[in-house]
Amino acid sequence: MSGDVRGSGSSGGISRVGVVGGGQMGAGIAEVCARAGLDTVVCEADATAARAARDRVAQSLDRAVRRGKLEQSAARDALDRMVFTGSLDDLADRQLVVEAVVENAEAKAEIFAALDKIVEDPAAVLATNTSSIPVMRLGMATGRADRVIGLHFFNPVPVLPLVEVVTSLHTSAGTVAAVEEFAGAALGKTVIHSRDRAGFVVNALLIPYLLAAVRMAESGFATAEDIDTGMELGCAHPMGPLRLADLIGLDTVASIAESLYDEFREPLYAPPPLLQRMVQAGLLGRKAGRGFHVYDQG
């Protein structure tokens, strides 16, 4: 593969990483891998999307440099360690592939079935960054369910220190150990563990809170601004629930809520009509310039 630069890796284990999806989450995952010295390949749908993913990572690295969080030379080295491609075939030699595409079970299962055929090393780990889709379902799309695991990062990935490791009934102890070493030793993240239930730990607690804020705004009980200000100043939250929903993406919040409701059938997980209408209208939050708040896209 042209332009492939090998990194030594910090963990002594996984050193060649692939990321499928170069959006906000995928780009962030790829960035932290490259900054940790790992040889990183990012796969997008086509060459145009791959170039956009590279620009996304480059802009994030530039921000880190401007804020004094990263040396210019380290940012340049990180970008040099990365290859951006429009072909899944370029992931054939990876030791770990992290899927980070749209929160859709069918789309993710198709990618896992394809990776199962493409990734050559039978000991390679196939991980999903899903927020809510059962890891078991994705593992069963492959012939190596014991090597499939949930590896859930949080946005923005270069800033937030947490990773959820989610095991299915088939995930092997060796897979868990390899991923713990990768996330902890190589990336410097804090690892928590969850069983394979929709929402895992964080979103099972967070999503009902966000949905309660949506229902409060929907009912006219309070404005979005007052709801967010109330939680920021009254509870010392760094960001109010509706601003946080906008940051996550209202389509993603709705998808997670639907997965949680499908799993548990509890009313607190059901996405409110207002959230569904906003998604239908394309008012997806920060990435669209408008959600519960309006954002400068410049």
Q: For the segment 156-179, what is each residue's pLDDT rounded down to a tens digit?
A: 999 999 999 999 999 999 999 999
Q: Which long-range contacts (CB under 8 A, 24 or more apart) does 266-271 make?
A: 268/208, 268/211, 268/212, 269/207, 269/208, 269/211, 270/211, 271/211
Rounded CA-CA distance 272/219 in Å is 11
Q: Is 131 in the active site?
A: yes
Residues 6+ apart with CB under 8 A from 175: 125, 146, 147, 148, 149, 167
User: Tell me, what DSSP letter sits at residue 191?
Assistant: E
Catalytic residue among 15, 129, 203, 259: 203
Residues 176-202 pLDDT 10s: 999 999 999 999 999 999 999 999 999
Catalytic residue among 11, 31, 164, 255: 164
User: Tell me, what DSSP letter sits at residue 268?
Assistant: G
Q: Is the pTM of this model over 0.85?
A: yes
Catalytic residue among 11, 15, 60, 131: 131
Residues 247-275 pLDDT 10s: 999 999 999 999 999 999 999 999 999 99
Domains of the chain: 16-195 (3.40.50.720), 203-288 (1.10.1040.10)
Burial of 3 from C-beta contacts in 10 A (0-12 / 13-18 / 19+): exposed
Q: Is 152 in the active site?
A: yes
Which residue reads 């899903």 in tokens?
130
Catalytic residue among 15, 31, 99, 152: 152
